[in-house]
Structure 1
Amino acid sequence: MDMNTLVLILAATVAAAVPLIFAALGELVVEKSGVLNLGVEGMMVVGAIFAFMAAAETGQLWLAILVGAVAGAGMAAIFGFITLSLMANQVATGLALTIFGIGLSAFIGQGYTSVALDGLKEISIPVLSSLPVVGKLLFSYNILVYLAIIAFVGIWWFLYKSRSGLILRAVGESPSSAHALGYRVIRIRYLAVLFGGAMAGIGGAYLSIAYTPLWAEGMTAGRGWIALALVVFATWRPGRVLIGALLFGGVTIAQFHVQGLGVEIPSQFLSMLPYLATIIVLVLISRDAGVIRLNAPASLGQPWHNELH
């Protein structure tokens, strides 16, 4: 394998990891607040179709990204109302949200399956983009790739360097103690849930207006579930989320290059590699319950009852 091919594989790995970075970082913030939202897949696919519709109808890709974020946040608002205000089970509600999102996107996207977009273009930076190796690896992506890296830095800073991040983590660890100190637990959790939904929506928008760019039913293809697994894989740490997303992106890209090299492996097996890797990682992590207890927010998935306010 020559250097040019290796650089192309690495660049494709970064591009494949972007939707996972957005969705997983958003879910990380949600879970840090003590809320478990399993509806990431549904929020991503709804963000994807609404962003694609906005781009197809207006031709404004920035508007499409915003629409995708709002659509994801809207789905998250439904989840928040049912679980935070009505105190429904978070696991069941998240699963229902995913089923609803997949069905809704398939229904409203019927008229867009044959539409193709002129998607987001790579940013060309004078001098830097033309550098050998480094130019392709670092300076040849569209704006959403760089936005994903900015989001990672911003979320890391927010969680560990800001007072607001400390409050969010305190709510996730002990909502009773946070409430006793005067913090609005439900409001904080609502904001976290809405942010997570917006991030998932942007991840979906990236798929439909930048990565492909087209609309196909079920185009998220389980990435929402992988994003959920990434949060556990990362033991709720942003840096590990980024590394994990790149690893899973690499597994996704590897299947295409293995086929291109003529290796006689059934294509169905190669297609299931990212999900097989997800299962293996979760099994390995689950063997050490101490790691989960040490790093997971103590109140994760536990409702905050109104009578405690």
Structure 2
Amino acid sequence: MEVLSGLLSTAILSGGVLALAALGELLAERVGVLNLGVEGLMALGAMSAVATVGATHDPWLGFLAALLVGGGAGILFALATVVVRASQVLCGMALTMGGLGLSATIGRPFAGQPAGATFSPLPIPLLDRIPVLGPALFQQSVPVYLAFLLLPAAIAWLLFRTRHGLTLRAIGENPAACDAAGIRVAPIRFCYVVLGAAVSASAGAYLTLGFVPSWSDGVTAGRGWIAVALVIFAGYRPWRIVGGALLFGLVNALGYLAQARNWGVPSAFLAMLPYGVTLLFMIAPGLLRRGGALIAAPAALGVPYYRDEK
């Protein structure tokens, strides 16, 4: 029972990183902007969180620093893609490479050092006493609850229960029609690209202050790319993103358990397993779409909007 509870707890901790990163990407993609810079944003967020915590010993200030750094990078990306209307794919790749390089350079003094402070668990009374599930689900830190409950609930309510959410989805589908209806397309796209970048960067703070309590070059280990794939796999729905993040976290946790229990599985295979699941994430949408079980991507995703071309 303890093994199962520990497995679930590790799966939740690991999956929370992906959930936050993918939810941030979802905000940008729902308004029609493809941000392939999630990996770089996570690296910047992870480095800035560790650096801030080293100076202040307050994990929440580290989390805030990651949000601010991610928002700053998101402003640059939004200026390039929404205002200048440069290629979203190329700008995303530049953000990834720039974020990885900048974080590695600035974060060199912190490499290999433990974080100055980390998020402490916040047990939920009574629920944390449930056998097996209680310790795994209800003895987590606040960022875990944020990633798996508060943020997806807020995004789902915004997108599917409010008039503003209808506007966001319409911009992602047909920005020209929205513009004709008097909706300011560019400012809304700009705001949600910046907000999404900040949320994705906060996943890096979660990673180094909650899951892997230290900074090192390459600590994100491709999780940003997996988050982008997860949004596609989830059909651009926040609660499906949570489910997919849990699935990936479980695969990751099984790898840790296999190594700890010495199951005799080659370590190279265990290290490859999460990325193999990512390939399935990319293949599954095509198969599900044929059966009508998946929502297609926003029609204007990745397409710059020119007001004079309606």
Q: TM-score range by the shorter chain?
A: over 0.9
Partner of 1:137: 136
Partner of 1:29: 27
> Could you tell me whether the CA contact under 8 Å between 1:45 and 1:101 is conserved in 2?
yes
> Could you tell me whether the CA contact under 8 Å between 2:233 and 2:284 is conserved in 1?
no
Partner of 1:271: 271
Partner of 1:101: 99
Partner of 2:306: 305
Structure 1 counterpart of 2:253, one-letter code: I
Q: Deviations over 1:194-224 (max 9, x none)?
A: 1111111110000111212111111111110
Unmatched 5+ stretches in structure 1: none
* C-alpha deviation, 1:138, in angstroms: 2.6
Question: Per the alignment, do residues 187 and 106 of structure 1 end up closer, same or farther by CA in structure 2, a change over 3 Å counting?
Answer: same
Residue 228, structure 1, aligned to residue 247, structure 2? no
Equivalent residue for 1:47, pick from 45, 65, 78:
45
> Could you tell me whether the CA contact under 8 Å between 2:4 and 2:132 is conserved in 1?
no
Partner of 1:187: 187
Partner of 2:83: 85
* C-alpha deviation, 1:275, in angstroms: 0.7
* C-alpha deviation, 1:35, in angstroms: 0.6
Partner of 2:58: 60
Question: Per the alignment, do residues 58 and 285 of structure 1 end up closer, same or farther by CA in structure 2, a change over 3 Å counting?
Answer: same
Classify the secondary structure of the residue corresponding to 1:303: coil
Separation of aligned partners in 1, 2:58 and 2:309:
46
Separation of aligned partners in 2, 1:77 and 1:164:
22
Residue 146, structure 1, aligned to residue 181, structure 2? no
* C-alpha deviation, 1:86, in angstroms: 1.1
TM-score (norm 2): 0.94
Structure 1 counterpart of 2:177, one-letter code: S
Question: Per the alignment, do residues 294 and 124 of structure 1 end up closer, same or farther by CA in structure 2, a change over 3 Å counting?
Answer: closer
* C-alpha deviation, 1:299, in angstroms: 0.5
Separation of aligned partners in 1, 2:24 and 2:178:
22
* C-alpha deviation, 1:259, in angstroms: 2.0
Separation of aligned partners in 2, 1:239 and 1:200:
17
Q: State the Cα RMSD in Å.
A: 1.8
Q: Which structure 2 residues correspond to residues 233-252 of structure 1 after superposition, within 5 A?
A: 233-252=233-252
* C-alpha deviation, 1:134, in angstroms: 3.9
* C-alpha deviation, 1:284, in angstroms: 3.3
Question: Per the alignment, do residues 273 and 299 of structure 1 end up closer, same or farther by CA in structure 2, a change over 3 Å counting?
Answer: same
Classify the secondary structure of the residue corresponding to 2:299: coil
Q: Deviations over 1:151-207 (max 9, x none)?
A: 010001000001111110010010001111111101111111011111111100001
Question: Per the alignment, do residues 145 and 293 of structure 1 end up closer, same or farther by CA in structure 2, a change over 3 Å counting?
Answer: closer
TM-score (norm 1): 0.94
Classify the secondary structure of the residue corresponding to 1:120: coil
Q: Deviations over 1:223-276 (max 9, x none)?
A: 100000001101111121110000001111111112233222221111011111
Separation of aligned partners in 2, 1:283 and 1:49:
33
* C-alpha deviation, 1:125, in angstroms: 4.1
> Could you tell me whether the CA contact under 8 Å between 1:30 and 1:189 is conserved in 2?
yes
Separation of aligned partners in 1, 2:288 and 2:46:
36
Partner of 2:120: 121
> Could you tell me whether the CA contact under 8 Å between 1:286 and 1:292 is conserved in 2?
no
Structure 2 counterpart of 1:15, one-letter code: L
Structure 2 counterpart of 1:11, one-letter code: S
> Could you tell me whether the CA contact under 8 Å between 2:5 and 2:135 is conserved in 1?
yes
> Could you tell me whether the CA contact under 8 Å between 2:230 and 2:281 is conserved in 1?
no
Count of matched residue pairs: 307
* C-alpha deviation, 1:69, in angstroms: 0.8
> Could you tell me whether the CA contact under 8 Å between 1:235 and 1:292 is conserved in 2?
no
* C-alpha deviation, 1:97, in angstroms: 0.7
Q: Deviations over 1:30-80 (max 9, x none)?
A: 111011110011111101101111111111211111110111111111111
Separation of aligned partners in 2, 1:203 and 1:57:
20
Question: Per the alignment, do residues 300 and 18 of structure 1 end up closer, same or farther by CA in structure 2, a change over 3 Å counting?
Answer: same
